[in-house]
């Protein structure tokens, strides 16, 4: 059996097309199989590419470009500036592929991407997002740096960091310790000083900052990091008189609470005094002499008139006999 296949390039993707003819009397069309393979390829997820170490790679250092695959693949290819430069065949299907440069030189600097191919398919995935390999060349002097204001900066104000080099520098980058990538970049038309402004600083902006630059004509070469400056952000102080006002409000609140409590107690005392006086007056207005019915308290049901005993004297006169 001899196979003949035709290949065409469609936007950089290698896609088989047409019929595969069998030598002999039998002809088998595999167009359906190729169509299924192409359909599967359209759903291949894009890989991602990472750099190790992520920054601070100097000439002569070892660096690794790692292609992360969304699913195990057999073939992985590395591209530089759009051109295929290396392939990595995975004898054991894996989900990562490493491409290492043991001793980097200026030719290794540039933009890289990767793509992969599944074991059962001849169609490759889309390329990953680009990753820049920038090499530090210590032949270039580090830039100068300054911070304004130099003392502590209050929250909400602006801080300015200036980076400069009088001989080199087309693009200046601002770095913050703890961040894997530059936090700001500024391209200059002429050699001079780049000014970076941090607007409305917060405590999260506190930290150590450094600068680097990329020389003219060498976009993937970098100067070493220069000296550092430290930005300290302090909370905004309270306006004058705020503490006295707060203390006065507290005093007013305490005095108000004490006054309300005193008035409440005073009302209770007056109420009890009035009640006692009313009872005393009622007792004085109801004397109980021996010849009159006793006084009773209408509020005491035990002293109702029907419950009182009365003594009645009856004198009987005997009838007289007529003379």
Per residue in 142-163, pLDDT (tens digit) is 999 999 988 788 899 999 999 9
Are 192 and 154 in the same domain? yes
Are 130 and 189 in the same domain? no
pLDDT tier for residue 110 given thresholds of 50, 70 and 90: very high
Average pLDDT of the residues of the chain: 75
Residue 107 domain-assigned? yes
Higher pLDDT, 204 or 122: 204
Using one digit for the tens of pLDDT, what is the confidence trace for 263-317? 778 777 777 777 777 777 777 666 555 554 444 454 444 444 444 444 444 454 5
Among residues 182, 216, 234, the one where a domain terminates is: 234
Q: What is the mean pLDDT of residues 14-22?
A: 35
Using one digit for the tens of pLDDT, what is the confidence trace for 44-86? 899 999 999 988 899 999 999 999 999 888 899 999 998 888 8
Residue 156 domain-assigned? yes
Q: How many domains does the chain have?
A: 2
pLDDT of residue 169: 73
Among residues 136, 161, 187, the one where a domain terminates is: 136
Enter the pTM of the model. Answer: 0.57
Q: Look-up: residue for tokens 């009773």?
A: 296
- CB 145 within 8 Å of CB 161: yes
pLDDT of residue 20: 33
Are 161 and 94 in the same domain? no
Contacts 24+ apart (CB under 8 A), 232-240: 232/151, 232/152, 232/153, 232/206, 233/152, 233/153, 233/154, 233/155, 233/201, 233/202, 233/203, 233/205, 233/206, 234/152, 234/153, 234/154, 234/155, 235/154, 235/155, 235/203, 236/154, 236/155, 236/156, 237/154
Are 70 and 102 in the same domain? yes
Higher pLDDT, 201 or 256: 201
Residue 32 domain-assigned? no
Are 53 and 131 in the same domain? yes
Are 155 and 190 in the same domain? yes
In CATH, what number is assigned to the domain containing residue 116?
2.60.40.10
DSSP track, 260-319: HHHHHHHHHHHHHHHHHHHHHHHHHT----TTSPPP--TT-GGG-GGGS-------PPPP
Distance between CA atoms of residues 222 and 233, nearest Å: 30
Residue 43 domain-assigned? no
Are 230 and 152 in the same domain? yes
Percentage, residues of the chain above pLDDT 90: 38
Flag whether pLDDT at 248 surpasses 90. no
Residue 104 domain-assigned? yes
Are 68 and 113 in the same domain? yes
Flag whether pLDDT at 202 surpasses 80. yes
Residue 130 domain-assigned? yes
- Structural domain for 87, as ranges: 48-136
Are 154 and 213 in the same domain? yes
Helix (H, G, I), strand (E, B) or coil at 32: helix
Residue 312 domain-assigned? no
Among residues 188, 205, 234, the one where a domain terminates is: 234
Residue 30 domain-assigned? no
pLDDT of residue 289: 52
Are 230 and 150 in the same domain? yes
pLDDT of residue 76: 93
Helix (H) or strand (E) holding 253: helix 242-284
């Amino acid at each position: 059996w001899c196979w003949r296949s035709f290949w065409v390039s469609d936007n950089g993707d290698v896609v088989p097309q047409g019929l595969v003819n069998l030598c002999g009397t039998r002809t088998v069309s595999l167009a359906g199989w190729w169509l299924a393979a192409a359909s599967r390829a359209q759903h291949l997820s894009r890989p991602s590419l990472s750099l190790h170490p992520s920054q601070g790679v100097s000439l002569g250092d070892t660096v690794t470009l790692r292609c992360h695959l969304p699913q195990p693949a057999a073939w992985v290819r590395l591209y530089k500036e759009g051109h295929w430069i290396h392939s990595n065949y995975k004898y054991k299907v894996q989900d990562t592929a490493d491409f290492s440069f043991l001793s980097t030189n200026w030719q290794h600097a540039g933009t890289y991407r990767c793509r992969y191919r599944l074991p059962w398919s001849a169609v490759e995935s889309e390329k990953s997002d680009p990753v820049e390999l920038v090499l530090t060349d210590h032949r270039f002097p580090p830039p100068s740096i300054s911070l304004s204001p130099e003392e502590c900066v209050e929250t909400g104000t602006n801080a300015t960091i200036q980076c400069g080099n009088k001989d080199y520098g087309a693009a200046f980058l601002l770095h913050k310790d703890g961040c894997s990538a530059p936090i700001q970049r500024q391209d200059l038309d002429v050699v001079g000083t780049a000014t970076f402004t941090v607007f409305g600083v917060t405590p999260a902006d506190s930290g150590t900052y450094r600068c680097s630059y990329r020389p003219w004509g060498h976009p993937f070469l970098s100067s070493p990091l220069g000296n550092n400056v430290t930005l300290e952000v302090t909370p905004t102080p309270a306006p004058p008189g705020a503490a006295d006002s707060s203390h006065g409000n507290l005093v007013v609140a305490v005095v108000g609470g004490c006054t309300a409590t005193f008035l409440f107690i005073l009302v209770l005392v007056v109420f009890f005094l009035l009640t006692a006086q009313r009872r005393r007056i009622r007792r004085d207005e109801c004397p109980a002499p021996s010849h009159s019915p006793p006084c009773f308290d209408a509020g005491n049901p035990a002293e109702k008139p029907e419950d009182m005993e009365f003594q009645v004297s009856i004198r009987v006169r005997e009838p007289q006999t007529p003379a």
